[in-house]
Structure 1
Amino acid sequence: MQEKTLAFRNSLISYRRSGEGPELLLCFHGYGEKAMAFDFLAKYIGNQYTVYAIELPFHGHTQWKEGLLFTGADLLGVLDLLLSKEQPFTLMGFSLGGRVALSLYQLIPERIHKMVLLAPDGLKVNGWYWLATQTRLGNRFFAFTMRKPGWFLWILHLMKRLRLINSSIYKFVDYYIGSKEIRNDLYIRWTAFRRLKPDLKKLRQQIKEHQTIIRLVYGRHDRIILSSTGKNSEKELSLIAALQKFLPVIRYCMKNMQPISLKN
């Protein structure tokens, strides 16, 4: 396992490299995670793949100095420093990393022949996220709420008492709103990634054209990113085939993933 950095403009991008296989796998971790989340892959596919796991801006050891914005052009710029421009590869993304992976695929679908998405963000538009990041007024209100969350927490507790939200969602939201430091991270990260917006219509066309192999994996007990989202998206994206030989374990499960084998 090697931990390295890339100089990108004024920033330093941290990434981890593992495995010695002839094929390339590029991984993007989830919200609040680090690149080490993919270290386990080397044990199972290290002979088949060389794995590059990039730490996203405002995560891990990456030092992002380009302001509160990370775009598709930035993503391509980092990729060009890491891999040769013509090199094909497989993509894997978890949660927020799934949205990053989908955004990258839109830009260079001809180079990506397989994609594994673990409980991916980006296949369904969240109304609150859209309001907080895609509108100026909404973003200002989002910033105000992160500074003074009292009113929001009161409504959250009320909704829980009235059983309008389940306990999983309550705990999830309370965790991100209850701490000043975590709230600050939430505002920064949501705002910085606001330009990475997968276009499902475009994705559907590209996947058909390039015959890209896709695999969607969801947690059986995940109450935040529901597996039904994936079922709907599979129809919308007109997925060509399931990935038949990739890795023998998903039970590592960053979100209680179902132990689905992806072997032949």
Structure 2
Amino acid sequence: MEHCRLSYKNSSISYYRFGKGNKVAVCFHGYGEESESFTFLEKYAGDQFTFYAIDLPFHGQTAWHEGLNFRWEYLRNIIQEIVNAKRHIILLGFSLGGRVALSLYQAIPEKIEKLVLLAPDGLKVNFWYWLVTQTRAGNKIFHYTMKHPGWFLGFLKVLNRLGLVNQSIYKFTLYYIHDKKVRNDLYNRWTSLRRLRPDIEKIKSLIKNCKTPVRLIYGKYDKIILSARGEKFRKGIEDDCSLSIIDAGHQVLHEKHAKEIIESLKV
């Protein structure tokens, strides 16, 4: 396993390269995680794949200095510099990384051999995420709340008592706003990646026209990203897109699920 850095504009992109196989897989991690989340794959498929796992802006060891603005053009340029631009690649994305993978596929579908998406974000527009990242007023409220979270914590507890918020979402939200640094990271990460907005209908058309194989994997007990989103996405592209549900929660990217992940990369 080799830790590498790519200088891009004023930033330093951190990534790991591991495995020595002929097929190339580019990996995008979930929110709050980092590129090392994928390194267990080398043990199971390093002889068949060469993996490039990227630290997204404000994650891992990437030092992002282009402001809160990460465009799909930047993503495309970075990947084409890391991986030989002539190579066809497999995209492997988990959760937030699924949205990143979809955005990259939309930009360069002719270069993508396969899409493997693990409990992917991006197949459905989340209203609250849209509100706080895509509208000026919402982003201002978001910024204020991350600096002064008291009012929101009280509001969230009221919703919880009334049974109006899913328990998993409630606990997930509490975790991400309990600490000043965690809140600051949340604001920077959500805002910087707001321009990665995959056009799902366009992507489905590209999948159909390019005959791109897509493999979706969801956790049976996942309360964060439901498999129903994947089932809806599959409609009209069933011949190219398969979906499997495994015995997991949201954390589908885990060594104990290596077999299912590797099978999706191969098939």
Range of TM-score over shorter length: over 0.9
TM-score, structure 1 normalization: 0.92
Name the structure 2 match of 1:114: 114
Structure 1 residue 166, shift from structure 2 partner = 2.7
SS in 1 for 2:182: helix
Deviations 1:43-62 (A, max 9, x none): 11111100000111110100
Map residues 239-250 of structure 1 onto 2, 5 A cutoff. 240-242=240-242
* 1:86-133 per-position Cα deviation (integer Å, ceiling 9, x unaligned): 210100001111000000000100110111101111100000000101
CA distance in 1, matches of 2:211, 2:82: 25
Residue equivalent to 1:228: 228
TM-score, structure 2 normalization = 0.91
- Post-superposition Cα deviations, 1:150-177, rounded to whole Å, max 9, x if no partner, equal 1111111111112222321110010111
- SS class of match (1:7): strand
Q: 1:145-224 residue pairs with structure 2 within 5 A?
A: 145-224=145-224
Who is 1:38 aligned against? 38
| Residues 221, 253 of structure 1: alpha-carbon distance in 2 compared, 3 angstrom cutoff | closer
Give the percent of matched residue pairs that are identical in Structure 1 and Structure 2: 51
Quick check: 1:255 aligned with 2:248? no
> Where does residue 247 of structure 1 map in the other structure?
none
Aligned 8 A contact 1:69 1:191 in 2: yes
* Contact 1:203-1:237 at 8 Å conserved across structures: no
Residue in structure 2 matched with residue 133 of structure 1 by the alignment: 133
The alignment yields a C-alpha RMSD, in angstroms, of 2.1
Q: Tell me which amino acid in the other structure corresponds to 1:158.
A: V
Distance 1:99 1:178 in 2: 26
Specify whether residues 136 and 89 from structure 1 end up closer, same or farther in structure 2 by C-alpha distance, changes over 3 A only: same
Identify if the C-alpha distance between structure 1 residues 239 and 180 changes in structure 2 by more than 3 Å, giving closer, same or farther: farther
Structure 1: runs of 5+ lacking an equivalent: 245-249
Matching residue's letter, 1:69: N
Query: Residue 254 of structure 1: CA displacement?
Result: 6.5
Q: Which runs of 5+ in 2 are unaligned?
A: none
CA 1:254–1:35: 2 relative to 1, 3 Å: farther
CA-CA distance at 1:256 after TM superposition:
5.0
Aligned length: 259
Q: Provide the C-alpha distance between the structure 2 equivalents of 1:193 and 1:211, rounded to a whole number of angstroms.
A: 28
CA contact (8 A) 2:222 2:250 kept: no
Correspondence for 1:98? 98
The one-letter code matched in structure 1 to 2:39 is D
